[in-house]
């Protein structure tokens, strides 16, 4: 992480008796694309709104750029928020919408305001749209206007609350890469709230995964995916199959796979998790660690085939994804085969 811009320590937030943020501590870097990811109700919007100054908190501290934000109202913070519903004014033009936040600024003359507005529109790819009526824009264009309206105020931190969730899949994917490019270009801190794990993985420098008001893991996308800290995180991000395991004296006995070294600090009943691409169907004559298995289900997706297989000696099923290509046969349910795996692909959790 670069120099911390936002520093949150031991934040506790209640709605009445409901404990919405439980001892949340996190530092967010200057120029970082940071995401808050988690299921509905985990507290990610509450944390974002707390940073924005729309929510108070019972204890803990929130500092932005070295300054304690206690008692600082939302409009005096170096943050700006883009909402899920675009909240643009349909009866105003695009330029009027974008310039709205600048209207009371006495330090800028009319020409400077117009120039700033045009620059913000250019940033979001709406060059020349200033005179259009806001009500006549598509969903994606409206979201860009909302972005430009936030950017024109030159915040240090842009807070984005599920900004793409109202868009269709194609437009959402396009806006994801545009937002990422924009963030890199202007270099300010973006904090994105999303419940969409793919969105978080593709866009973020780091992700905080939240459950029930707590941060369960804070890491870069690759680390979250390949080394989830808890089984909850592993299940929330991507697909993972779990095999029962017994650990004693640094050695694990994993159902269907056999003995292998166990990570430090584990003992007793555990589970070993493996991602679908962590195992593959072995070609005939392959060596290395192999496990006998029966194909239970197969689903053909064109570029790849997804299998469920039962390893011999256990009832647990593993999911495997195999890339298709010339000479790769799709195996039918009932086929006896062997799976290639490597100990590095396994992640252990307490049972
Ligand atoms: P979603 O993705 O559904 O928006 P979230 O993770 O953003 O979920 P929050 O909106 O932060 O979740 O809400 C966290 C919890 O706090 C939820 O259980 C919610 O019902 C509760 N909550 C949120 N706002 C209030 C409020 N103003 N008064 C009482 N409870 C609230």
Of all protein residues, the one whose alpha carbon is nearest to atom 27 of ligand 1 is: 15
For residue 40 and ligand 1, the question of a CB distance below 6 A is answered with: yes
Question: How far is it, in rounded angstroms, from Cα 73 to Cα 161?
Answer: 19
Residue-level pLDDT at 86:
64
Among 12, 13, 37, 45, which residue has the most ligand 1 atoms within 8 Å of its CB, making it the best to mutate?
A: 45
- C-alpha torsion 104→110→113→114, nearest 10: 140
> In angstroms, what is the span from residue 43 Cα to ligand 1's centroid?
6
Could you tell me the two tokens for 96? 């009027």
Residue-level pLDDT at 167:
80
Q: 335 near 295, Cβ under 8 Å?
A: yes
For residue 49 and ligand 1, the question of a CB distance below 6 A is answered with: no
Of all protein residues, the one whose alpha carbon is nearest to atom 15 of ligand 1 is: 41
Residue-level pLDDT at 154:
87
**Which pairing describes strands 4-15 and 18-29: parallel, antiparallel, or unpaired?**
antiparallel
Q: What is the distance, to the nearest Å, from the Cα of residue 351 to the centroid of all Cα atoms in its chain?
A: 26
Q: 315 near 328, Cβ under 8 Å?
A: no
Question: How far is it, in rounded angstroms, from Cα 32 to Cα 280?
Answer: 36
Give, for 236, the enclosing helix (H) or strand (E). helix 231-236
Beta partners for 209?
Answer: 37, 217
**Residue-range domains of the chain with CATH:** 4-232 (3.40.50.300), 239-350 (2.40.50.140)
Residue-level pLDDT at 227:
95
Q: 61 near 9, Cβ under 8 Å?
A: yes
pLDDT in tens, the chain (351 residues): 677 999 999 999 999 999 999 999 999 999 999 999 999 999 999 999 999 999 999 999 999 999 999 999 999 999 999 876 667 888 899 999 999 878 878 888 888 888 889 988 988 888 889 999 988 888 888 888 988 998 888 899 999 999 888 788 888 888 898 889 989 988 999 999 999 999 999 999 999 999 999 999 999 999 999 999 999 999 999 999 999 999 999 999 999 999 999 988 899 999 999 999 999 999 877 787 899 999 999 999 999 999 999 999 899 899 999 999 998 889 999 999 999 998 899 999 998
**CA-15 nearest atom, ligand 1:** 29
For residue 77 and ligand 1, the question of a CB distance below 6 A is answered with: no
């Amino acid at each position: 992480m670069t120099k911390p811009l936002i520093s949150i320590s031991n934040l506790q937030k209640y709605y009445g008796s409901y404990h919405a943020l439980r001892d949340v501590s996190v530092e967010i870097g200057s120029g970082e694309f940071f995401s808050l990811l988690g299921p509905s109700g985990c507290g990610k919007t509450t944390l974002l709104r707390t940073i924005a100054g729309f929510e108070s908190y019972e204890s803990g501290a929130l500092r932005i750029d070295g300054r304690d934000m206690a008692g600082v109202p939302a409009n005096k913070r170096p943050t700006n928020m883009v909402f899920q519903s675009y909240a643009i004014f349909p009866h105003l033009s695009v330029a009027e919408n974008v310039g709205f936040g600048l209207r009371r600024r006495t330090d800028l003359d009319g020409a400077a305001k117009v120039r700033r507005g045009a620059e913000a529109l250019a940033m979001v790819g709406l060059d020349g749209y200033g005179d259009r009526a806001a009500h006549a824009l598509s969903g994606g264009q409206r979201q860009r206007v909302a972005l430009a309206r936030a950017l024109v105020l030159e915040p240090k931190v842009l807070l984005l609350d599920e900004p793409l969730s109202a868009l269709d899949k194609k437009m959402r994917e396009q806006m994801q890469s545009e937002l990422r490019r924009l963030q890199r270009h202007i270099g300010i801190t973006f904090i994105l709230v999303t419940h969409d794990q793919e969105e978080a993985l593709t866009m973020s420098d780091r992700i905080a995964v939240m459950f029930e008001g707590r941060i369960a893991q804070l890491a870069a996308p690759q680390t979250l995916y390949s080394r989830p800290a808890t089984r909850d995180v592993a299940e929330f991000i991507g697909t993972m199959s779990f095999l029962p395991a017994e650990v004693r004296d640094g050695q694990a006995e994993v159902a269907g796979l056999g003995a292998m070294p166990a990570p430090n600090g584990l003992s007793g009943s555990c589970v070993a998790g493996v991602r679908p691409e962590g195992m593959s169907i072995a070609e005939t004559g392959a060596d290395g660690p192999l496990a006998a298995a029966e194909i239970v289900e197969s689903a053909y997706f064109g570029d790849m085939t997804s299998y469920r297989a039962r390893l011999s000696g256990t009832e647990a099923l593993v999911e495997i994804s195999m890339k298709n290509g010339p000479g790769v046969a799709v195996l039918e349910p009932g086929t006896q085969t062997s799976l290639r795996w490597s100990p590095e692909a396994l992640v252990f959790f307490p049972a």
